[in-house]
Structure 1
């Protein structure tokens, strides 16, 4: 029996995180981003623990896009040294403190502050949400076109989601044919979406908030507030404040925007411990398998190699 298998999960995660940070430390040797005030904002919520992976994520994406300024929501743990590193590598980014975000009647935590910041700030700029546990592997023409045509986009949760935004009753029929289910709050809410009156005309898609674009001028908090009321009815007050409801709200928002772009799952995908195709453009290394098989470190190191001067 390997010692790894009997270590508590939090110990393994802490150890794996430290090893990954060591593996990607060369990102500090890469040239800084030359930020541009061109109507695009690359936005992430980060803390000191993910500083180095975040630099891999944002630099590998910026290398392909070649445009945009950087904005960061500080989860409250960024140090003075972290902020200095970010200022150098990210073109003196806009830093937003978590306590600066007015929540109103929205839940605290669970990434809601990140989502609310996007909704509040998107009126004049295109806001692209980027998780720190992602790596851009190559050209992203679908993303470039979405930004150029001011259409929202999302990474999909799985290949089945390529069916697109569906009326709520049809989404439930496709994904939850046996009726309401229990478990994770996303499952609880999604499996009950058919309870919402169809005359609202709402749609839903199973996306992933780890990589999503919000078109300039799109709807703000009102739509999110109306949907949150439905989430609360389905999952209760406590459930509505649980981590995961922000992703459901993000999926809902994008599904109800004009002509959203659904990134093809074969090229923009979540990593579940399996190899990806040669033409894959973007990988989200989700928590369950983030460090499996050393794939995250290898993809990050390849991205760093492409960023370093020849």
Structure 2
């Protein structure tokens, strides 16, 4: 290992420490009050992400008040975490991940989250909110989707549209051919005609991100997920259980809900694409501490929240 590796590792540890120290400030903000008519917010949360999750949740709820909040608890969530959730979000609904395991569907890798969404979407509009997001300003696109029962997902900076499965499959196959071990999401996308069932070329796909997605009431079912999972498992075998397949499934499901939309970039984006129009940021893994934006925006939100409460 060279010197640059150690320097990068130390810098990351420093950034994590600074952010976590700042994030504790969320515990001093007012507890979240649930509304009557808003969406259900659902997240799968790991022990290490409890404070970032509360930041994500409260910054979102400041712009769109939820009627219900559901946490699908990763096995690492302990009694202290649960007590903190209940203190900060009175009325929160805590469910264990194993409650949403389903025969024919992989376990782990956030699959229980998608199955939980399929369960709750029978009752109303569900928004999946990752713990590593922050809402910076009014989210008009999302509010409109909720009001009109329109499903949505995050897009990528270079594509904010639904694309036919045949076209995506050709694109993914060409990229698989250039990699000795292609990423599992590429392999799944190359098999989109299998996912579509019987080669239904009228199906579409959104190459988006499952970190922030909205699902209209009764927009899909657990049976839809199970059927998709079984088709894909038969085609790609054990690879279907790898991390990344749930995102593919979410993209496919949202892409084929009638009227569904892709949120526009850079209004909803990652930290490396922010501009003056940005209202929500997904601080995805390798970009989490990019240029200190996560820390800066967390401080800004906490400052506003505490000032309003004073």
Structure-1-length-normalised TM-score: 0.90
1:154 and 2:153 equivalent?
yes
Once residues 306 and 191 of structure 1 are traced to their aligned partners in structure 2, the CA distance between those partners, rounded to angstroms, is 46
Please report how far the alpha carbon of residue 203 of structure 1 lies from its aligned counterpart in structure 2 after TM superposition: 1.5
How far off its partner does 1:16 sit? 4.0
- Pair 1:20–1:4, CA change in 2 (3 A): farther
Give distance in 1, aligned partners of 2:230 and 2:16.
37
3-state SS of 1:198 partner: coil
Residues 1:222 and 2:223 are matched in the alignment: yes
For residues 255 and 213 of structure 1, the distance between their equivalents in structure 2, rounded to whole angstroms, comes to 12
The residue aligned with 2:307 is 309
Distance in 1 separating the partners of 2:162 and 2:152: 12
State the shift of 1:84 in Å.
1.9
**How many matched pairs?**
303
Aligned to 2:247: 247
Determine whether 1:210 maps to 2:206.
no
Partner Cα separation in structure 2 for residue 172 and residue 199 of structure 1: 12
TM-score by length of 2: 0.90
Per-residue CA deviations over 1:260-284 (Å, capped at 9, x if unaligned) read 021101100123xx35111201000
Q: Paired residue for 1:77?
A: 76
**In angstroms, what is the RMSD of aligned CA positions?**
2.3
SS at 1:64 equivalent: coil
| 8 A Cα contact 2:172 2:187, kept in partner | no
Question: 1:223 and 1:301 mapped to 2: Cα distance?
Answer: 41
Distance 1:81 1:206 in 2: 37
User: Alpha carbons of 1:15 and 1:188: their partners in 2 closer, same or farther (altered >3 Å)?
Assistant: farther
> Which runs of no fewer than 5 residues in structure 1 stay unpaired?
none
Query: Partner of 1:144 in structure 2?
Result: 143
After superposition, give the CA deviation of every residue in 1:92-121 in whole Å (9 maximum; x if it has no partner).
Answer: 300001122232121110100010011012
Tell whether the 8 Å contact from 1:123 to 1:216 is kept in structure 2 after alignment.
Answer: yes
18-27 or 88-97, larger mean C-alpha shift: 18-27
Change (3 A) 1:67 1:120: closer
User: In terms of mean alpha carbon deviation, does 250-259 or 41-50 score higher?
Assistant: 41-50
Shift of 1:39: 5.5
Q: Is the CA contact 2:40–2:125 (under 8 Å) kept in the aligned structure 1?
A: yes
How has the CA–CA distance of structure 1 residues 233 and 99 changed in structure 2, closer, same or farther, with 3 Å as cutoff?
closer
Q: Which residues in structure 2 correspond to 1:17-96 (within 5 Å)? A: 17-38=16-37, 40-96=39-95
Gap regions ≥5 residues in structure 2: none
Question: C-alpha deviations, 1:30-55, integer Å up to 9, x for none?
Answer: 11110124362111111221111111
Contact 1:168 1:198 in 2 (8 A): no
Would the aligned equivalents of 2:38 and 2:64 in 1 still touch at CA under 8 Å? no
Deviates more, 1:191-200 or 1:44-53: 191-200
